[in-house]
């Protein structure tokens, strides 16, 4: 896990979930919100395009829906092909906003720079990555990072049963191996997804380096499964196979608890197994948690008169509802604590001038 994410998650210990979750719409423009809100005279003209993470897409979509009630003449398009695909569009100037479930990679930042695209990174929420199987899989309830590496890491290419990873897991200290002698059907994000990248960084990378050495010649993750950028397709794959294994953003998992089973996770073998919940993501006790971001094109904040008012509204009047109600009252997103929200607001204010 990156140092920055560790710092951010540690700060969540101070976050009081109840205050954020229970705040009504009248509170969403108070001190924890942006510096103001848009009205019909402040909407600007034109259209706005946002693309990227399918995990962040519902938050941006909800903010856009709320904005249409205020600025109905502004057309906002939002789609979620994946964080990587979103940055590919953003760094060639094709979109105004890039939704991201991870921070921008160095190679992507270099592409933006080569094309003269300057941007502002805005942390907007936290999310957990839920590890899933089918409800009929009663043999497994908790896995460690070691177990997940033994089944999904670079050394597991070709393993077509859970049991095939048993020797690797046991050799790395698993207290769960041997694993069930059952088909291992993987339904998970593809390489274009920020959730794919975040899972590697948080869960697999450290174990891979311990097992293979820092060069990790076999790679961090197995390459023999067909990943998908669409979270709903991943959910369908998990639900359709009794001995499946995969992962999605927690916000999608909570919408599908009737057809998928969420596994508890521990970072170290023998550690406390922690289920992903709003509370465990908020207090950082769930070990597979991450930040969610939007990236805004700085030049377009000036050239597109509709963009700055929308982002201000997104971070202001729309913020609480967009983050906590994108999937209804039991949404799987965790709003920022006040201190981090203030940093986001300040970053946007600096970019917007």
Three-class DSSP category at 138: coil
* pTM more than 0.85: no
Q: Say if residues 294 and 122 touch (Cβ distance below 8 Å).
A: yes
Domains and CATH numbers, the chain: 3-126+291-352 (3.40.190.10), 129-289 (3.40.190.10)
Phi, psi of 266 (to 5 degrees): -130, 140
Q: State how far the Cα of 195 lies from the Cα of 104, in Å rounded to an integer.
A: 13
Q: What is the pLDDT of residues 43-69, one digit of tens each?
A: 999 999 999 999 899 999 999 999 999
**Count of helices and strands (H, E) across the chain:** 16, 10
Phi, psi of 153 (to 5 degrees): -75, 180
Q: State how far the Cα of 33 lies from the Cα of 321, in Å rounded to an integer.
A: 11
Angle of CA points 239, 244, 245, to nearest 5°? 110
**pLDDT tens-place values along the chain, 353 residues long:** 443 344 344 434 333 333 333 333 333 333 333 434 444 448 999 999 999 999 899 999 999 999 999 999 999 999 999 999 999 999 999 999 999 999 999 999 999 999 999 999 999 999 899 999 999 999 999 999 999 999 999 999 999 999 999 999 999 999 999 999 999 999 999 999 999 999 999 999 999 999 999 899 999 999 999 999 899 999 999 999 999 999 999 988 988 999 999 999 999 999 999 999 988 988 889 999 999 999 999 999 999 999 999 999 999 999 988 887 654 445 578 889 899 999 999 999 999 98
Q: What is the pLDDT of residues 308-341, one digit of tens each?
A: 999 999 999 999 888 876 544 455 788 898 999 9
């Amino acid at each position: 896990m990156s140092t920055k994410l560790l710092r951010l998650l540690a700060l969540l210990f101070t976050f009081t979930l109840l205050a954020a979750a229970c705040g009504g719409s009248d509170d969403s423009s108070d001190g924890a919100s942006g510096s103001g809100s848009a009205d019909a005279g402040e909407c600007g003209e034109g259209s706005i395009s946002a693309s990227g993470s399918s995990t962040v897409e519902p938050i941006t979509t909800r903010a856009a829906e709320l904005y249409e009630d205020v600025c109905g003449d502004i057309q906002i398009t939002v789609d979620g092909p994946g964080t990587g695909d979103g940055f590919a569009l953003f760094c060639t100037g094709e979109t105004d906003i890039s939704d991201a479930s991870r921070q921008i990679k160095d190679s992507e930042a270099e592409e933006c720079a080569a094309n003269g695209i300057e941007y502002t990174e805005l942390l907007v929420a936290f999310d957990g990555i839920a590890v899933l199987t089918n409800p009929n899989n009663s043999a497994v309830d908790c896995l460690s990072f070691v177990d997940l590496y033994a089944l999904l890491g670079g050394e597991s290419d070709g393993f077509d049963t859970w049991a095939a990873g048993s020797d690797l897991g046991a050799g790395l200290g698993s207290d769960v191996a041997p694993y069930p002698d059952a088909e291992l059907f993987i339904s998970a994000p593809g390489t274009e997804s920020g959730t794919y990248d975040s899972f590697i960084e948080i869960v697999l990378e450290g174990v891979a380096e311990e097992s293979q050495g820092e060069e990790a010649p076999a790679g961090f993750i197995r390459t023999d499964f067909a990943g998908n950028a669409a979270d709903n397709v991943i959910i369908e794959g998990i639900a359709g196979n009794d001995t499946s294994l995969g992962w999605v953003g927690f916000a999608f998992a909570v919408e599908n608890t009737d057809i998928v089973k969420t596994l508890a996770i521990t970072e170290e073998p023998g550690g406390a197994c922690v289920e992903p919940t709003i509370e465990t993501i908020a207090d950082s006790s769930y070990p597979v948690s991450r930040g969610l971001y939007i990236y805004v094109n700085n030049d377009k904040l000036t050239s597109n008169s509709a963009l700055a008012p929308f982002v201000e509204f997104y971070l202001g009047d729309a913020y609480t509802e967009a983050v906590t109600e994108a999937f209804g009252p039991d949404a799987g997103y965790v709003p920022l604590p006040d201190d981090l929200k203030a940093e986001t607001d300040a970053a946007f204010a600096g970019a917007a001038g």
